């Protein structure tokens, strides 16, 4: 049994790195639908359930220190990759569809929680709020909301489980619908000109090459941004919903958006360091959970399916009202629920030239996910009370 903080942290890094490497070189199609980040979570949770490490004071201190300090740095780096200028070049219809998808997901969470909240623990509004951040942005947004709302890691096991199960099912459904695009477009009255002209919005900028110097710069910059975000947050007033942690995350988010307009956006190092932080934070969270806390998982899975079903129904209605094509509809949905890991896959199923559109739309989720997720969380808290 590991009892030192160094051994604990080293094992988490090693497990995360090995899983990521194996999934990157494997040709199994399973890994297209089951991202490495989900596998990391469950593998670390297995080790936690087997009590490979004990929760000593040193390990608890290491866990809290790394998670709280790396989180703002990760958010900053993730948002540096979002090119706001190219996003607005995508056209009004794509932007409209993306935000309609976000709105329908929000409504799905609110309606489902209003119907089922009496069957969940009293604090379930927070975990569902965190999941809404993930389904309108990504795992980083979910972690940000979890930290902002002080949701214990032990409560996140069910949410991560339904996230992986329901998300994987939705990806497969959307991919299966690709051959029926022309039929759907005829029904909705959508025109195909978008698919013919969409490649004109592709970015022509080249990223600056990955180097030791840029890697070192990005690493140090992200850490100093984390420090500054936490320091600036102390000057904002605290309330029941917005405390210092919440302000820290919001400040880091705004700094990341601002940084995306600078040359930092073109550095490959931002994605490299940001992903390392992301995988480590997910492993840290999983290290506090165990399978014994998943007894209510079936009900959570049903709730997740209800949310996706309501989302799909609302999006179909929007498609008819605004004459949206299936490509835009599906990629907007998956850019929210699946993020960068899956939206490009669906876009590429239509045409390889459309892959960058899936990436850009998914990047929009990183920008709005935390803000909208916190808003949904507040509404769910009101329903629960």
Task: Dump pLDDT digits (tens) for 36-71.
Answer: 877 888 899 889 988 899 888 999 999 999 988 998
* pLDDT higher than 80, residue 385: yes
Q: pLDDT grade, residue 19 (50/70/90)?
A: very high
* pLDDT higher than 90, residue 82: no
| Residue 242 confidence (pLDDT) | 66
Q: pLDDT grade, residue 156 (50/70/90)?
A: confident
Q: pLDDT grade, residue 15 (50/70/90)?
A: very high
pLDDT, average across residues 111-125: 92
Dig out the tokens for 382 from the structure.
């009101």
Dig out the tokens for 1 from the structure.
């049994």
The DSSP output letter for 120 is: S
* pLDDT higher than 80, residue 190: yes
* pLDDT higher than 50, residue 208: yes
8 A C-beta contact, residue 133 and residue 369: yes
| Residue 216 confidence (pLDDT) | 95
| Residue 165 confidence (pLDDT) | 76
* pLDDT higher than 70, residue 192: no
How many other C-beta atoms are found inside a 10 Å radius of the C-beta of residue 180?
A: 11
CATH number, domain 5-201+214-384, options 1.20.1530, 3.40.50, 1.10.8, 1.10.10: 1.20.1530
The residue assigned the tokens 């494997």 is 26
pLDDT, average across residues 17-23: 93
| Share of residues in the chain with pLDDT > 90 (%) | 34
Q: pLDDT grade, residue 205 (50/70/90)?
A: very low
Closest by Cα among 200, 183, 187, 193 to 93: 193
pLDDT, average across residues 211-235: 94
Distant-in-sequence contacts of 115-123, Cβ < 8 A, 24+ apart: 115/306, 116/299, 116/303, 116/306, 117/380, 117/383, 117/384, 119/299, 120/296, 120/299, 120/303, 121/155, 122/384, 123/151, 123/155, 123/384
The residue assigned the tokens 């941004």 is 225
* pLDDT higher than 70, residue 374: yes
8 A C-beta contact, residue 26 and residue 39: no
The residue assigned the tokens 């997720």 is 373
Task: Tell me the average pLDDT of the chain.
Answer: 84
Tell me the per-residue pLDDT of 286-334, one tens digit each, with 9 for 90 and over: 888 766 655 557 888 899 999 999 999 999 999 999 888 888 899 899 8
| Residue 352 confidence (pLDDT) | 60
DSSP string of 352-375? GGGHHHHHHHHHHHHHHHHHHHHH
| Residue 240 confidence (pLDDT) | 54
Return the domain boundaries, the chain.
5-201+214-384
| Residue 204 confidence (pLDDT) | 44
* pLDDT higher than 60, residue 139: yes
Task: Let me know the angle formed at the C-alpha of 87 by 82 and 92, rounded to the nearest 5 degrees.
Answer: 155
């Amino acid at each position: 049994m590991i009892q030192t903080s160094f051994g604990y942290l080293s094992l988490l890094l090693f497990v995360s790195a090995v899983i990521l490497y194996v999934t990157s070189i494997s040709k199994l199609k399973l890994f297209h639908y089951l991202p490495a980040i989900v596998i990391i979570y469950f593998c670390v949770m297995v080790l936690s359930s087997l009590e490979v490490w004990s929760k000593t004071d040193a390990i608890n201190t290491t866990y809290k220190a790394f998670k709280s300090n790396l989180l703002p740095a990760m958010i900053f780096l993730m948002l540096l990759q979002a090119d706001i200028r190219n996003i607005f070049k995508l056209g009004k219809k794509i932007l409209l569809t993306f935000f309609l998808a976000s709105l329908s997901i929000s409504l799905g969470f609110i309606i489902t929680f209003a119907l089922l909240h009496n069957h969940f623990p009293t604090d379930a509004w927070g975990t569902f709020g965190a999941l809404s951040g993930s389904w309108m942005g990504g795992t980083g947004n979910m972690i940000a909301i979890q930290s902002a709302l002080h949701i214990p890691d032990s409560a996140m096991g069910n949410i991560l489980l339904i996230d992986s199960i329901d998300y994987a099912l939705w990806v497969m459904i959307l991919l299966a619908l690709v051959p029926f695009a022309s039929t759907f477009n005829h029904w909705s009255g959508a025109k195909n000109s978008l698919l013919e002209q969409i490649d004109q919005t592709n970015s022509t900028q080249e990223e600056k090459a990955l180097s030791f110097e840029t890697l070192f710069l990005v690493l140090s910059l992200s850490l100093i941004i984390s420090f500054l975000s936490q320091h600036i947050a102390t000057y904002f007033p605290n309330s029941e919903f917005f405390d210092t942690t919440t302000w820290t995350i919001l400040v880091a988010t705004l700094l990341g958006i601002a940084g995306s307009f600078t040359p930092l956006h073109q550095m490959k190092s931002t994605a490299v360091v940001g992903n390392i932080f992301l995988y480590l934070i997910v492993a840290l969270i999983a290290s506090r959970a165990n399978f014994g806390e998943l007894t209510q998982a079936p009900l959570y899975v049903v709730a997740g399916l209800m949310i996706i079903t309501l989302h799909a129904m609302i999006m179909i209605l929007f498609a008819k009202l605004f004459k949206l094509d299936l490509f835009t509809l599906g990629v907007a949905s998956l850019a929210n629920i699946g993020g960068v890991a899956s939206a490009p896959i669906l876009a590429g199923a239509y045409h390889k030239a459309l892959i960058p559109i899936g990436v850009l739309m998914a990047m929009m989720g990183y920008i709005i996910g935390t803000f909208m997720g916190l808003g949904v969380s507040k509404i769910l808290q009101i329903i629960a009370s």
